[in-house]
């Protein structure tokens, strides 16, 4: 988180991924943020997948990003929490 917060999101990704893969919801959200920022603020499929994982665990910021990215327009996936 420290690397991400000081602007080194690319360097933080391996650590965030490791934490996210073990179930850390905050790391899932930040993986989505890192993926989105790497593509010049693009809402990529990889970013959406991380946000969805975090949203399924109840993260409100991930739910907001999914909504802002248009993922919830026309109905959300049946298993999603957005």
| Average pLDDT, rounded, for the chain | 83
pLDDT score at 74: 59
Q: pLDDT at residue 14 above 80?
A: yes
Q: What is the 3-state secondary structure (H, E, C) of the chain?
A: CHHHHCCCHHHHHHHHHHHHHCCCHHHHHHHHHHHHHHCCCCCCHHHHHHHHHHHHCCCHHHHHHHHHCCCCCCCCCCCCCC
- Both tokens of 77, joined, read 């996936």
Where do the structural domains in the chain lie, given as residue ranges? 2-68
In this predicted structure, what is the pLDDT of residue 57?
94
pLDDT in tens, 41-57: 667 888 889 999 999 99
Phi-psi group of 36: left, alpha or beta (phi > 0 → left; psi -120 to 50 → alpha; rest → beta)? alpha
């Amino acid at each position: 988180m420290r690397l991400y917060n000081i602007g080194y999101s690319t360097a933080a990704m391996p650590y965030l991924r490791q934490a996210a893969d073990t179930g850390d919801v905050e790391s899932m959200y930040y993986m989505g943020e890192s993926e989105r920022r790497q593509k010049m603020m693009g809402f990529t499929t990889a970013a959406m997948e991380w946000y969805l994982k975090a949203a399924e665990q109840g993260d409100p910021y991930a739910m907001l990003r999914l909504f802002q990215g248009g993922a919830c327009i026309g109905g959300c996936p049946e298993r999603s929490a957005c």
